């Protein structure tokens, strides 16, 4: 019987593990993937919004060579945090279901069953992409994650979305030799929250027609060598080799709903939790990190949810 199981080995899950270790609890951090799996899945050349000190956990300094750290630096940093604190990790072991046994929780994982008095769910939102739900989306040329530009050299690329991810992909593939880069955007313009140092770049590329864009448009069908786009003026078919759907991601609601965690009836499907303790309506089950925002995935970040770990462990110790 564990004192605490933490589901999710992202930065906030690790922060919870550090607090558990500080308080001499028998804990374990479980993740269905690798350490900081979401950060690993960022594009290779990603630069964070935040400065390095805002990404620090556990009192371990994050030294970066730049004003804003890179993905590679972050991966190295969180590995160092785990080594420094000797955190108890259980990676590549998906939690399939959590059963409330009243006196404790039984977690069914792909590698067996684990029992725990308390559970923290810190699973983020990066595992389940929003689908386009159109004919042809099942083709192998359609991708919801972007790693690097090399595979798209001399290819006709279509990018769906208007946020930071879509803009970064458009600029990267354009600069690394894609034959054509076309953005398909439902809105009337590029997203308002584009990184301030990137916005002038994408605006200039579009104005110079180096990157094509269809505003107030959407893909209707994806074919092997083309896509059909519905624009305000007409329906067009253009040549296409790859579709990169940067349409965003959503939390894993299934595990919450099966456990009985209340989901608020608001536009963001926000999971219920006590803001002082982060405890849900299920006694002994806590939420931490970006998951707390539901579909509003831009509410919580590493820098403003690090405190969740202290709130949760304070409540667990009092209990």
Mean pLDDT of 172-196: 93
Residue 92 tokens read as 């590549």
Q: Among 307, 275, 289, 274, which Cα is nearest to 120's?
A: 289
Say if residue 19's pLDDT is above 90: yes
pLDDT at 125: 81
Q: Identify the band that residue 47 occupies on the pLDDT scale cut at 50, 70 and 90.
A: confident
Compute the average pLDDT of residues 207-213. 96
- Model's pTM, two decimal places? 0.87
- How much of the chain exceeds pLDDT 90, in percent? 84
pLDDT at 178 over 90: yes
- Answer yes or no: is pLDDT of 216 > 80: yes
pLDDT(88) > 90: yes
- For residue 6, what is the enclosing H or E element? strand 2-7
Mean pLDDT for the chain overall: 94
In this prediction, residue 284 carries a pLDDT of: 97
At residue 249, the pLDDT reads 87
Residue 127 has pLDDT above 80, yes or no: no
Per-residue confidence (pLDDT) for residue 57, from 0 to 100: 96
Determine the pLDDT at residue 319: 86
Structure confidence at residue 67 as a pLDDT band (50, 70, 90): confident
What average pLDDT does the segment 29-54 reach?
91
Q: Which domains, and CATH codes, for the chain? A: 2-128+249-318 (3.50.50.60), 131-245 (3.50.50.60)
pLDDT, mean of residues 237-258: 93
Q: Provide the pLDDT confidence category of residue 291 given band limits of 50, 70 and 90.
A: very high
Residue 58, pLDDT > 80, answer yes
Residue 131 confidence class, pLDDT cut points 50, 70, 90? very high
Q: Does the pLDDT of residue 169 top 80, yes or no?
A: yes
Whether 238 shows a pLDDT value over 90: the answer reads yes
Mean pLDDT of 165-184: 96
Q: Say if residue 7's pLDDT is above 90.
A: yes
């Amino acid at each position: 019987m564990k004192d605490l199981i933490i589901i999710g080995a992202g930065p906030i899950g690790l922060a919870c593990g550090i607090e558990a270790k500080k308080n001499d609890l028998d804990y374990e951090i479980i993740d269905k993937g690798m350490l900081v799996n979401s950060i690993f899945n960022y594009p290779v050349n990603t630069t964070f919004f935040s400065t390095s000190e805002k990404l620090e956990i556990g009192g371990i300094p994050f030294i970066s060579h730049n004003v804003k750290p890179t993905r590679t630096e972050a991966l190295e940093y969180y590995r160092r945090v785990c080594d420094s604190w000797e955190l108890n990790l259980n990676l590549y072991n998906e939690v399939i279901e959590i059963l409330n046994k009243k006196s404790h929780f039984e977690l069914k994982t792909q590698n067996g069953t684990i029992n725990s008095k308390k559970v923290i769910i810190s699973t983020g939102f990066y595992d389940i992409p929003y689908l386009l739900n159109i004919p042809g989306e099942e083709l192998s040329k359609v991708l919801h994650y972007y790693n690097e530009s090399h595979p798209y050299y001399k290819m006709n690329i279509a990018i769906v979305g208007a946020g930071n991810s879509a803009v970064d992909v458009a600029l990267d593939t354009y600069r690394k030799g894609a034959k054509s880069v076309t953005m398909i955007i439902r809105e009337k313009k590029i997203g308002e929250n584009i990184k301030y140092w990137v916005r002038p770049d994408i605006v200039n590329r579009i104005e110079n027609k180096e990157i094509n864009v269809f505003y107030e448009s959407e893909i209707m069908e994806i074919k092997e060598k083309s896509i059909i786009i519905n624009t305000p003026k007409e329906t067009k078919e253009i040549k296409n080799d790859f579709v990169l759907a940067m349409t965003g991601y959503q939390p894993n609601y299934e595990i919450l709903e099966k456990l009985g965690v209340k989901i608020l009836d608001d536009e963001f499907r926000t999971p219920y939790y006590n803001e002082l303790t982060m405890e849900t309506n299920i006694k002994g089950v806590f939420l931490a990190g970006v998951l707390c925002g539901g579909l509003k995935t831009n509410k919580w970040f590493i820098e403003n949810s690090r405190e969740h770990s202290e709130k949760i462990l304070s409540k667990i110790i009092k209990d």
